[in-house]
Copies of this chain bind each other. A is one copy, B any other.
Amino acid sequence: MLIILQHMKTHPTPRTRVRRVADNAAYDTATLYAIIDDAYVCHIAFSDGSNDGSAPHCIPTACWREGGHLYIHGSNGSRMLKRLAESEACVTITHVDGLVMARSAFNHSMNYRSAMVYGQFEAVEGDAKRRTMEAFMEQLLPGRQAQVRGGSDKEYAATTVMRISLEEAACKVRSGGPQDDAEDMSIDTWTGVLPLQRVRAAPIPAEGAGAAPAYVQQWQHGAE
């Protein structure tokens, strides 16, 4: 499979320039890809097109990456997918890594990794649709695609796959311990990080499940 890496704009655009705590901003591709690849879902903000000042929508959906694009899928009937074909969107992924405990209430913080992508989704059709859906499964669970019934023509026809370029994007990352004010350093209290992690728990077989393949047997102890 040929993957062509597209690179983010070296200089942020007006809407990807990070304004708050700009020291936490990162615009490099490796950081962006790692944040996306660690995510099962993204949140997509899109307008309903009424232009009447009503709220945009923010909907979570499963996502995967191939090369320089982020992919999503859904039913042809999805309001979100119909709207995304017509207007610009913002896709955001956030991982919370821990609570940061400082000597003053206001210097408390969180460690996190977040990515924002702006642009317009485009439909993925035909063979490319089938190929990337299979790649999605293969990324989640290598080997599973061959152990299940693949998508039928009818199932593919009822499904919309869309992708957005990762070219206009920005990341924001905070890691490490607290940053206390100099005048607070004499306060005697515990400071540091209380980490949060996503882990894999023991598989729960369904009634009538067949033998567990390697990716199920190793699920709980795999790197997450």
Task: Spell out A's residues near B (CB within 8 Å).
Answer: 15, 19-20, 40-41, 43-47, 51, 53-60, 62, 74-75, 77-79, 87-92, 94, 96, 98-99, 101-106, 108, 110, 112, 114, 116, 118-119, 133-134, 137, 140-141, 144-145, 147-152, 155, 159, 177-178, 184-185, 187-213, 216, 219, 224
Contact = CB atoms under 8 A, between A and B. Distances in A.
A96 to B, nearest CB: 5
Contact of A199 (B60, B105, B189, B197): B197
A86 to B, nearest CB: 9
21 contacts: A20-B78, A41-B110, A43-B43, A43-B92, A43-B94, A45-B46, A45-B58, A45-B90, A55-B87, A56-B90, A58-B116, A98-B201, A99-B141, A102-B148, A104-B155, A105-B137, A106-B152, A192-B206, A198-B198, A198-B199, A199-B199
A188 B53 CA distance: 53
Contacts of A114: 60
Contacts of A104: 148-151, 155
B192 A19 contact: no
A143 to B, nearest CB: 11
A9 B135 CA distance: 42
A39 to B, nearest CB: 9
A45 B55 contact: yes
A106 B195 contact: no
A105 B45 contact: no
Given A185-B208, A195-B203, 12 more contacts: A41-B94, A45-B90, A55-B89, A55-B118, A56-B56, A57-B116, A105-B151, A189-B209, A190-B216, A194-B200, A195-B200, A199-B199
Contact of A210 (B144, B155, B190, B195): B190
* 10 closest residue pairs by CB, A with B: A45-B45, A45-B58, A56-B56, A55-B88, A195-B201, A60-B94, A104-B149, A58-B92, A192-B205, A43-B43
A45 B214 CA distance: 40
A110 B42 CA distance: 13
Given A43-B92, A58-B44, A91-B58, A206 B177 contact: yes
